[in-house]
Amino acid sequence: MSKVSEAPHSSYDAAEEFLGHRTPAQRVQTTLHRYPWLSPAIVLILSVIVFSFLNENFASPNNLSLITQQVAVVGALAVGQTLIILTAGIDLSCGAIMVFSSMVMAKTAFDSGLPGWLAIILGLIVGGLAGAFNGLLVTKVRLPPFIVTLGTLNIFIALTLLYATGRTIRDTELAAGLNWLGETFTIGEVRVTVGVVVMLVMYAVFAFVLKYTAWGRHVYAVGDDAEAARLAGIRVQRVLMSVYVTAGTLFALTGWILIGRVNAASPNSGIDANLDSITAVVIGGTSLFGGRGTVLGSLIGALIVGVFRNGLTLAGLDVYYQTLAVGILVILAVSVDQWIRRARA
Amino acid sequence: MTATTNEPSPQVQTKEPVLQATGLVKTYGHVVALDGVDLELYPGEVLGVIGDNGAGKSTLIKCLSGAESPNGGTILLDGQPVHFRTPLDARTHGIETVYQTLAVAPSLDIAGNLFLGRETRLPGPLGSVLRMLDGNGMRKRAKEQMTSLGIGTLQNMGQAVESLSGGQRQAVAVARAAAFSSKVIILDEPTAALGVRESAQVLKLIESIRERGLPVILISHNMPQVFEVADRIHIQRLGKRAAVVSPKTISMSDAVAVMTGALKVAPEQEVAGQV
């Protein structure tokens, strides 16, 4: 029996008719909505062009090499941060986990003569455990990620300082392999550090994982609407836990890059990198509300910050203007995100 | 309550019920939500479930979909007793539920939502080693599913669900249930969040599902909708089944009267089995 009366005129036809006559602004909005990394990519290209005109040294091989090295640590940190922000979380403790892990790598090798590779694995495990601690507090104790990581930020800083007893492990004291990521090779005339390559590999791996695996889709689904994901049969708590552990391990890997970058392991370096990584993710078009964004965007976001800082320095502007510029970029990026989100309606 | 007697009349009951609940009891503290409810769902039928607020509709459905465990009574699926502890339990037994809250992931595309939590991987090492998903295969099967349900307005399976209207999103949720359900589909207030035209689309979908032979339980506050699509209507009142009636033989106002207790249905007016 088919008693349902035909709708006189399907609303979808009407909607499609309407969609056919969109204003240019709506088209831009829809395109940006579909490719969240597109607007930061445009900003990056424009800023590179502008800075190249402002100062002839900007595009020199040496300077480009410098920018990649300056970006490596924050860029690598932003991979794990993107994963967490995609689940509608945030990690303020990422810099502290990075430094803590780098101290574990350097000091266990220094104190007990552990081979470098084993010390690195130990550091990665410590990072994973630190992430698991955050994850447990988020999934089991059900605290907001902001509060959890605000607490563990301080805890991990304290642990780092207690463990290191305030002492830096200098380059001559580093075990073999620990500063390997600081070594360079040249592509054309540009010197590239191994650390930059590791960062790029991290981006490639997680761009793939997020796009082509079930886990990646579940990360987006959980960040989008955790309740809907649960009703669809996704084990939300398990996905969240895996994201925090993965991110913690990635922060520890960044700790290894950090040792190579500064050629030492210092308990005081890079603790403020947490806000820089969030800045890179947000400028890269990933939404703080979760479920929307890409790791590619975060790489572009980190590069934008690096290019602005470097370009403004070369243009002879005071360092305070760099900070001002970064602040304006963040607010612009979030405004664009809000505008794009309205394309949903 | 005379209405609860339901001796099956042999001339109408021709098949065994797919899903049968007997004497279901559910209490929350000293609040009795279900007080010995019976429910039968026969192959290929749409069973409407109506009742006033607090009559125990939601609790009944939660027990059937695994969201709650009853304190007493039995549930038989194809004649076999089953005990669902979680919604996932019910789902692995072939019972799919669609919720009124438009439970979809807005940023994923239609195919991604259809296969959410049940993604298929590519064959060979790409799937087993790299864990790569079979995106094209899933889109193709999603498309087939949508076409077979007559949801022709959705052409592009790569379209993000957030760009769809409320009715289209619900259509995706219903299609997901229809694609993976092997026994029963439960629709809990599927049109509560929708407009008039969008609701009509969902009702059409329910009919396509019935044409496939899958039985549907439809819970709704909307009496005209239930009367439009249901083959039989289960009226829930005060934690019990007040009556099972046919929308062909009872008026909407009488059904409301049964819901509120103003009218009792004589046993001969009840419909027991397949209509």
What digits encode the pLDDT tens for the residues B90-101? 888 999 988 877
pLDDT (0 to 100) of residue A141 = 96
Q: How far is CA B173 from CA A182, B99, B211, B218, B265, in A?
A: 51, 8, 18, 14, 36
Give, for all 345 residues of chain A, the pLDDT tens digit: 444 444 444 444 444 444 455 678 878 887 887 788 888 999 999 999 999 998 889 999 999 999 999 999 999 999 999 999 999 999 999 999 999 999 999 999 999 989 999 999 999 999 999 999 999 999 999 999 999 999 999 999 999 999 999 889 998 899 889 999 999 999 888 899 999 999 999 999 999 999 999 999 999 999 998 988 888 888 899 999 999 999 999 999 999 999 999 999 999 888 779 999 999 999 999 999 999 999 999 999 999 999 998 999 898 888 888 889 889 988 988 888 788 777 654
Given this model, what pLDDT does residue B273 score? 56
Nearest CA in chain A to B90: A233
Does any CB of chain B come closer than 8 Å to the CB of residue A213? yes
What ipTM score was computed for the predicted complex, to two decimals? 0.78
Count of alpha carbons within 13 angstroms of residue A108, beta-carbon side? 19
Q: Where on the phi/psi map is residue A316: left (φ > 0), alpha (ψ -120 to 50), or beta?
A: left
The answer to whether residue A17 neighbours chain B at the CB level (below 8 Å) is no
Of the segments A274-288, B7-21, B155-169, B184-198, which one has the largest average pLDDT value? A274-288
List, in order, residues 6 or more apart from B217 with CB less than 8 Å away: B19, B41, B47, B49, B61, B64, B184, B185, B186, B187
pLDDT for position A2: 43
Q: Is residue A73 part of a domain?
A: yes
- Chain B positions touching A213 (Cβ under 8 A) are 131-133
Q: Which of A46, A50, A41 is nearest to A311 (CA)?
A: A50
In 3-state terms, what secondary structure has residue A59?
coil
Rounded to the nearest angstrom, the minimum Cα separation between B108 and chain A is 7
Contact check, Cβ <8 Å, A227/B103: yes
Element (H, E) at A116: helix A116-139
Contacts across the A-B interface (CB distance below 8 Å): 103
Whether residue B259 lies inside any domain: the answer is yes
Q: Is residue B175 pLDDT above 50, yes or no?
A: yes
What is each CA distance from A102 to A124, A126, A158, A197, A338, in whole angstroms?
9, 10, 14, 19, 37
Give B31-60 pLDDT, tens digit per residue.
Answer: 899 999 999 999 999 999 999 888 888 889
d(CA B132, CA A213): 5
Q: Are B106 and A11 a contacting pair at CB < 8 A?
A: no
The pLDDT assigned to B269 comes to 65
Q: How many domains does chain A have?
A: 1
Within a domain: B176: no
Is residue A33 within 8 A of residue A342, CB to CB? The reply is: no
Interchain contact A3–B (C-beta under 8 A): yes
Q: Within 10 A of B3 (CB to CB), how many other CB atoms are there?
A: 21
User: Quick check: is A31 in a domain?
Assistant: no
Structurally, chain B folds into a number of domains equal to 1
Contact B45, B232 (CB under 8 A): yes
Residue of B nearest to A3 (CA): B228
CA distance A292 to chain B (A): 7
- Which pLDDT does position B155 carry in this prediction? 78
Task: Kindly determine whether residue B105 and residue A231, on different chains, have CB atoms separated by under 8 Å.
Answer: no
User: In the block, which residue shows the tokens 């392991």?
Assistant: A265
What residues contact residue B179 under an 8 Å CB cut-off, 6+ apart? B114, B141, B145
User: Helices (H), strands (E): how many in chain A?
Assistant: 14, 2
Percent of residues, chain B, with pLDDT higher than 70:
91
User: Which residues of chain A lie closer than 8 angstroms to B113, CB-CB?
Assistant: 232
Partner-chain contact B105 A228, CB within 8 Å: yes
Contact in structure between B42 and B212 (CB atoms under 8 Å): no
> Is A5 inside any structural domain?
no
Residues of B in contact with A5 (CB under 8 A): 200
**CA quadruple A58, A62, A68, A73: dihedral sign:** negative
Token digits of residue A192: 């590239």
The residues in A 23-52 lying below 8 A from B, measured between CB atoms, are: 30, 34
Paired tokens of A63: 């300077």
In a domain, B49, yes or no: yes
Q: What is the CATH number of the domain that holds B211?
A: 3.40.50.300
* Cβ of residue A317 closer than 8 Å to a chain B Cβ: no
Predicted local confidence at residue B171, as pLDDT: 85
Please check the confidence at residue B4 and state whether its pLDDT lies above 50: no
Interchain pair A233, B121: CB under 8 A: no
Block residue for tokens 């502008």: A50
Percent of chain B with pLDDT strictly greater than 90? 31
Alpha-carbon gap, residue A169 to B250, rounded angstroms:
86
Question: Helices A94-112 and A145-164, interaxial angle, to 10°?
Answer: 20
Give the model's pLDDT for residue B272.
61
**Searching chain B, which residue's CA lies closest to the CA of residue A14?**
B153
- Each as own residue / partner, the long-range contacts of residues A63-70 (CB below 8 Å, 24 or more positions apart, any chain) are A63/A310, A63/A314, A64/A190, A65/A190, A65/A191, A65/A192, A66/A310, A67/A303, A67/A306, A67/A307, A67/A310, A68/A190, A68/A192, A68/A193, A68/A196, A68/A306, A69/A193, A69/A195, A69/A196, A69/A261, A70/A306, A70/A309, A70/A310
- What DSSP letter does each residue of A172-237 carry, written as one string? GGSPTTTTGGG-EEEETTEEEEHHHHHHHHHHHHHHHHHHHSHHHHHHHHHHH-HHHHHHTT--HH
DSSP-derived secondary structure for chain B: -GGG--PPPTTT--S--SEEEEEEEEEETTEEEEEEEEEEE-TT-EEEEEE-TTSSHHHHHHHHHTSS--SEEEEEETTEE---SSHHHHHHTTEEEE-TT----TTSBHHHHHTTT---BPSSHHHHTS--B-HHHHHHHHHHHHHHTT-TT---TTSBGGGS-HHHHHHHHHHHHHHH-SSEEEEESTTTT--HHHHHHHHHHHHHHHHTT--EEEE-S-HHHHHHH-SEEEEEETTEEEEEE-TTTS-HHHHHHHHHTS----GGG---S--
Range of the domain at A274: 37-339
Specify if B14 maps to a domain.
yes
CATH number, domain with residue A241:
1.10.3470
- Is residue B156 assigned to a domain? no
**Domain presence at residue B38:** yes
- B113, B130, B200 ranked by CB distance to A7: nearest: B200
- Determine the residue of chain A that is closest to B204 in CA distance: A4
Q: φ, ψ for residue A137 (rounded to 5)?
A: -65, -35
Report the C-alpha gap between A326 and A276 in whole angstroms: 10
Per-residue model confidence (pLDDT) at position B250: 87
Residues 6 or more apart whose CB falls under 8 angstroms from that of B160 comprise: A34, B106, B107, B108, B109
User: Closest approach of chain B CAs to the CA of A326, in angstroms?
Assistant: 28
**Which of B101, B104, B107 to mutate to probe the A interface, most A CBs <10 Å?**
B107
> How far apart are alpha carbons B58 and A279 in whole angstroms?
45
> What's the one-letter identity of residue A85?
I
* Cβ-Cβ contacts under 8 Å, B222 against chain A: none
For residue B147, how many other CB atoms are within 10 A of its CB? 12
Q: Do A98 and A92 touch, CB atoms closer than 8 A?
A: no
Residue A152 within a domain = yes
Q: Which domain holds residue B17?
A: 9-94+181-269
Is residue A237 less than 8 Å (CB to CB) from chain B? no
**Residues 6 or more apart in contact with residue A227 via CB below 8 angstroms:** B101, B103
- Selecting from A5, A11, A224 the residue whose C-beta is nearest the C-beta of B198 gives A11
Within a domain: B234: yes
* Residue at B170 is within a domain: no
- Interchain CB distance below 8 Å, B104 and A228: yes
Q: How far separated are the first and last CA of chain A, in Å rounded?
A: 36
Q: Is there a domain that residue A344 lies in?
A: no
Does the residue A269 lie in any domain? yes
Check A217 against B116: CB less than 8 A apart. yes
